[in-house]
Amino acid sequence: MYQARGEKHWFIPDGYIPPDSTGALTSHESVCVLNCSTEEALIRFTIFFEDREPMEDILVVVQGRRTKHIRTSSLMKDGAPIPVGVPYAIELFSDIPIIVQYSRLDSTQAENTLMSTMAYPLK
């Protein structure tokens, strides 16, 4: 039995799905989760916006002793994805401790660029 590591509650204030891409790489964001535990982690996402009500209760499972690099474009609520080209923010709440990193690839202007940061944990 491996122990769960990290925290259950994480935040990413700077969410944005670039609407455009050029070249071989598609603009996207990844919420990268590491689950060190033997048990699976059930993660509940809340998506916050600047000018409308949050999208709540989007669920993702990460298997035990696995990572999952979750494309934000894959997160759906009642069949609707997060809109592209709109500033938003992400809250994750997991039933067991996990570790979360956020990265964005933007290929709007011919060449790609990357940014990354650990998400902010509530302790």
Binding residues for a copy of itself, per CB under 8 A? 5-6, 9, 11-16, 23-25, 30, 32-34, 36, 48-51, 53-54, 65-69, 87-89, 91, 99-101, 103-104, 106-122
Closest distance to a copy of itself from the beta carbon of 78 (Å): 19
- Minimum CB distance to a copy of itself, residue 3 (Å): 10
1-20: string of b/e by CB count within 10 Å (b at 16+)? Answer: eeebebbbbbbbeebbbbee
Instruction: Tell the smallest beta-carbon distance from residue 112 to a copy of itself (Å).
Output: 5
What is the token pair recorded at 99?
A: 């570790």
Least Å distance, CB 80 to a copy of itself, is 18
Q: Which candidate, 97, 91, 81, 95, places its Cα nearest to that of 119? A: 91
Closest by CA position to 16, among listed 5, 6, 30? 30
Q: Which is nearer to a copy of itself, 59 or 63 (CB)?
A: 63
48 or 81: CB nearest a copy of itself: 48
Terminal Cα-to-Cα distance of the chain (whole angstroms)? 24
